[in-house]
Amino acid sequence: MSHTVTTNEQQKLQIGPLGIVTSNTVDDVDTRIPQKEIDLCRQWLSRATVAHPPQFSSFWVKHVVENWAGQKICNGALIVAAYQAGFEIAKPAGESGVSVTLGLDATDLREFDCGCGHP
């Protein structure tokens, strides 16, 4: 079961474990996003600050959350959790890939940055 999120641009996106599910996306056989991973992301996001406009890749932020949680999570879990928590989500028209851009304050990200060099 995939989840549906709506971006700032009012696009409805289907989200699976890898992120956005499209006709060109090869997603996992099991399209369920583990609720435990969504809950972990919601826990981290509960201490984060909303920022405008969305500027951080969900794939990169997922690594920050993994560093904090001490375990792997999927990109889709972070996207769904951010949407449920009221964070802005953007996916500019014509931008490819399975990730979205999230509206988080950079200060929150720096505290748990894993040092992998992403912006």
pLDDT by residue (tens digit) across 53-70? Answer: 899 999 999 998 998 899
84/45 Cα distance (integer angstroms): 10
98/38 Cα distance (integer angstroms): 17
Per-residue pLDDT band for 94 (boundaries 50, 70, 90) equals confident
Which residues are 90's β-sheet partners? 101
8/89 Cα distance (integer angstroms): 6
- Number of helices (H), then strands (E), in the chain: 4, 6
Give tens-digit pLDDT for 1-17: 679 999 988 989 999 99
- Round to the nearest angstrom and report the end-to-end CA distance of the chain: 31
CB atoms within 10 A of CB 62: 23
Edge-to-edge strands, sheet with 89-90: 56-57, 101-102, 89-90
Q: Pick the range with the lowest mean pLDDT from 73-82, 86-95, 102-111.
A: 102-111
113/102 Cα distance (integer angstroms): 16
